[in-house]
Amino acid sequence: MHLNSHFEMLLQSTSDLKAILVTDRDGVILIKVEEPNLPGKVTKAALSATFSLSCDQVGKLGMGKALMVTSAFDEYQIVQFTYPPLILSLIAPTNANAGLLMEIGSDLKDEILILAQAVAV
């Protein structure tokens, strides 16, 4: 798959990036590219489903729809983007440059939206 190999190259060329996942709103993984030594708990599909619910709740604050959320944990941070009906998750160490991850996620928008159209059919 073209997108999968693109993600593989992105993972190899971005030093702190540990995983890239594309899931649907329910957490079903469509694409998963990760470093071999990354603990499985970090890429659990439930994180995408939780993100989806969080976006729905944040939307009730009257500030508009959440487009991106950054979550920081003890060892890792996850930057997630909503490109309906898909979710893009970028996983990196907590001390990684979150701005760079946000830029990568924004740069991948067109490719994810093309995939979203294919999934919607």
Determine the pLDDT at residue 49. 63
Q: For the segment 18-70, what is each residue's pLDDT rounded down to a tens digit?
A: 999 999 888 888 999 999 888 887 777 556 667 767 777 777 788 888 788 88
**121 pLDDT higher than 80:** no
Domain that includes residue 96, residue range: 2-120
Q: At what angle do helices 2-13 and 109-120 cross, to 10 degrees?
A: 150
Determine the pLDDT at residue 25. 82
Determine the pLDDT at residue 65. 81
Strand partners, 82: 87
Q: Give the CATH number of the domain where residue 95 resides.
A: 3.30.450.30
Q: Give the total residue count for the chain.
A: 121
Determine the pLDDT at residue 45. 57
Q: For the segment 58-112, what is each residue's pLDDT rounded down to a tens digit?
A: 777 888 887 888 888 889 999 999 998 999 999 999 999 999 999 999 999 999 9
What is the b/e burial string over 36-67, where b = at least 16 CB atoms within 10 angstroms of the residue's CB? eeeeeebbebebbbebbeebeeeeeeeeeebe
C-beta separation of 79 from 105 below 8 A: yes
The residue among 49 and 2 whose pLDDT is bigger is 2
Please tell me the total count of domains within the chain: 1
DSSP 94-121: TTS-HHHHHHHHHHTHHHHHHHHHHHH-
C-beta separation of 85 from 49 below 8 A: no
- CA 22 from centre of chain: 6
